[in-house]
Amino acid sequence: MTPSRMTIWLLAALALTLAGCNDKRDPGFQGWVEADMIFVSPDESGRVTRLLVREGDQVKVGDQLYSVDDDLQQADLNQNKATLANAQQTYDRAASLSRTGAGTQASLDSAISSLRVAEARVNTSETRLARRKGFAPVAGVIQQIYFREGEMVAAQRPVLSIMPPGNMKIRFFVPETELPKLAIGEQVKVTCDNCSADLTAKIYFIATTAEYTPPVIYSLDERSKLVYLIQARPSRPDALRVGQPVSVYLNGRAPVADKVPVADKR
């Protein structure tokens, strides 16, 4: 390599090094997107007979999501209805005898009690039967399906999960020195790969306990290691995805590089 070429190469390398030193972009605080899912499950075990939604479907409150076999619940209802019919006949007979003075008050009271118990059992059976169908308790997107048609699901095991837009949240950690700059309700700027430039979130939770606990005697170095969990609700949850990494900037700060003077081109 000739001296002139060597000089040019060294100058170019030096320029790149200086540019790297001057590029002091604010990296923000690294975080990720999470959501509090709503899990829909049957009260009793059974086999999924119908699945009416797919992952990614939008559902409204009250939309039917699935059905679980109801043979046992239907048989229980039929039995309790038969018991109710007998209790009704016993009550009618006791009431008729009481009106004519041929029956006793004790017999009438017993018939009334039996009738009320039978009615309560029928109501319980009807409720159990109705709950073999799963309905959306909230509006949102079907996030994941855990059991499909033909599969057995245990009692209180979710068949599927729903993600309401309002349950989306951004979780990030800030060092102890940044806590005085934060407050509940404060807006922060959010950025992510190929996302819109106007994404923001509002802080709704600031942890009171550090994620890292140093020894009893705090030194300056140890205090710098303390971080606190912050959670914020995004203003546009539809623009984010669960598990997506994001960068968070406090007080509306944007990731803008420091300005450096540029020499005039000749």
pLDDT at 221: 55
Q: Where are the domains of the chain?
A: 25-36+165-252, 71-130
Confidence of residue 49 (pLDDT cuts 50, 70, 90): very high
Confidence of residue 19 (pLDDT cuts 50, 70, 90): very low
pLDDT at 105: 86
What is the CATH number that goes with domain 25-36+165-252? 2.40.30.170
Rg (CA), the chain: 33
pTM of the model: 0.70
Which residue do the tokens 């914020």 mark?
Answer: 232
**Structure-block tokens of residue 256:** 């803008």
Q: What are 61-90's pLDDT values in tens digits?
A: 999 999 999 999 999 999 999 999 999 999
Average pLDDT rounded to a whole number, residues 107-119: 93
Going by C-alpha positions, the residue among 95, 251, 100 that lies closest to residue 186 is: 251
Cα–Cα dist 55/169, whole Å: 20
pLDDT at 27: 64
71-130 CATH, one of 1.10.287, 1.10.1740, 1.10.10, 1.10.357: 1.10.287
